[in-house]
Amino acid sequence: NAGVTQTPKFRILKIGQSMTLQCTQDMNHNYMYWYRQDPGMGLKLIYYSVGAGITDKGEVPNGYNVSRSTTEDFPLRLELAAPSQTSVYFCASIAGGGGSTGELFFGEGSRLTVL
Amino acid sequence: EDKVVQSPLSLVVHEGDTVTLNCSYEVTNFRSLLWYKQEKKAPTFLFMLTSSGIEKKSGRLSSILDKKELSSILNITATQTGDSAIYLCAVRTQGGSEKLVFGKGTKLTVNP
């Protein structure tokens, strides 16, 4: 019962490098989200998707891109990494529809450091 | 712009105390409010509340939503050191834009 799986768990990047954080869920959830959490802070929404082929910006989308080609996968791409993107990133998903329990399921998080 | 505000931002209590954490929101097309507990890693789910106003309980934790005041409280009675964590409130919207917006969290420290 995998749930939401994120990779990698840790990564160090140099300024200007690019990388992709992978996220996949096996619960057939329509809605998927990417958040970042800075030390001592709450979660800020980067991008979200309500289904395959549909994505939308959250509160802090600058410097990131996403795609949703399948229901299962929602990768987050960082272009031209900057120190301000040093953070812990969480991918999450939630079922849609009236039968949903409303619980948002999280991946374990990816700690990214940009030096 | 959708907004979720939690208070206080931090709280230090002694074991056995009762605490009340607050969450207020201003969002377009409210669907539900979620409470999470976060220790070292990813947040773990506590409650989901809707405009029905039904109180949710789980052991020493309880929560209710006031749809008139656009707010929710999370109560923890007889606190224990294991309750030390960040408590996060999130609001889910509906109507095509299914955003889930979090507040900054309340850091609760329970001292023995």
Separation in Å, CA of A44 to nearest CA in chain B: 7
Q: pLDDT at residue A101 above 80?
A: no
Residue A12 pLDDT level (bands cut at 50, 70, 90): very high
- Tell me the residue type at A106: F
Q: Strand pairing of B10-14 and B106-111?
A: parallel
pLDDT at A41: 82
**CB A80 within 8 Å of CB A95:** no
End-to-end Cα spacing for chain B: 41
A63-B92-A62 Cα angle (round to 5): 5
Separation in Å, CA of B3 to nearest CA in chain A: 10
List the single residue in B with minimal CA-CA distance to A104.
B45
Mean pLDDT computed over every residue of chain A: 92
Contacts of B87 (CB under 8 A, 6+ apart): B6, B21, B35, B36, B37, B38, B46, B74, B105, B106, B108
pLDDT at A99: 53
Name which of A46, A47, A51 is nearest A29 in CA terms.
A51
Q: How far apart are CA A38 and CA B64, in angstroms?
A: 28
Q: pLDDT at residue A1 above 70?
A: no
Residue A104 pLDDT level (bands cut at 50, 70, 90): confident
Residue pLDDT, tens place only, A46-81: 999 999 999 999 999 999 999 999 999 999 999 899
Residues of chain B with pLDDT under 70: 96
Q: How far apart are CA B88 and CA B84, in angstroms?
A: 13
Interface test with B, best of A87, A94, A100, A103 (most B CBs within 10 A): A103
